[in-house]
Each structure stands twice: as C-alpha cells, then as structure tokens.
Amino acid sequence: MSEILQIALGLAALAVTVLALVLIPAVFHLRRQAGQITQAVTDLRAEVGELAVEAHKNLQSLHALSTRLEHEWSMVEDTVARVHGWTARADAVLSEVDTAIAPPVLSLARVVGLARVGLGAFRDAWRCGRHGGGDVQSMEGDSDV
C-alpha cells in the first residue's frame, strides 16, 4: 500500500506541477489581457468624457439658438399682427374715402361731361352763326331729320 500511496502522491505532485505550469501562464496572460482591457476602458472613458462635454456644449448652443429663434418668431408674429391691423385700418379708411369722395367725383365727372357737350354745341352754334353758314331754322330742320 505504501507503493500505491507513493504513486498516488507522485501523480498528485505531477498533476499540481502540470496544473501550475498551465495555470501560471494562463493567469499571467489573463492579467495582461485585463490590464489591456482596463487601459482601453480608461482611454474610452476619456474620449467619451470629451464627447459628452462636446455634446453638452452643442446642446447648450442649440438651446440658445432655439430660444433666440423663438424670440425672433414671436417678433415676426407681432409684426404680422401689426401689419394686419394696419391693413384693416387702411381698408377702413379707403372704404370711408371711397364712400365720401366717389359720389361727388362721379357727379363732377358727369357735370363736366355735360358741360363739354353743352360747350361743344355752343361752339358749333357760334361758328355757324358767326360765319353766316345758315339761319337757326335751317339748322333746326337739319337736326330733326
């Protein structure tokens, strides 16, 4: 039994040695990989931090631009409302002017037209009478025909 125990002990020592020979390089390799992963994560964290700061600045700029644009749009709406009010007032004034001035102007135009016709007839009668072109009865007879 002592031989079996020695063989078992020898095999166990051999197994521990093989295990140590396999595990120690594997652990060192895992440690090196973990160090590289840690470095990559640290670098990534720094880059992401810079990107986060840049994104925050961009969001602040976008917010400021949005606020300014909202203010400008409000001013445009106010201006449009004012212009609409002015247009409504101008339409009302033009309507009143049209109501107040159009009938007298049209009446004056009608009077002027009638005066032109009357003066034209007077001028024609004057020319005919002045040049002895005929008497009034012959002219009246011509107009009836």
SS3 sequence of 41-55: HHHHHHHHHHHHHHH
Q: Element (H or E) spanning 57, and its range?
A: helix 2-130
Domain region containing 135: 2-144
Per-position b or e across 105-130, b if 16+ CB within 10 A of its CB: eeeeeeeeeeeeeeeeeeeeeeeeee
The structural domain count of the chain equals: 1
Q: Is the dihedral of CA 106, 108, 110, 116 positive or negative?
A: negative
Q: What is the pLDDT of residues 119-137, one digit of tens each?
A: 888 888 888 877 655 555 5
Structure-block tokens of residue 54: 């840049």
Q: What is the pLDDT of residues 6-61, one digit of tens each?
A: 999 999 999 999 988 888 899 999 999 999 999 999 999 999 999 999 999 999 99
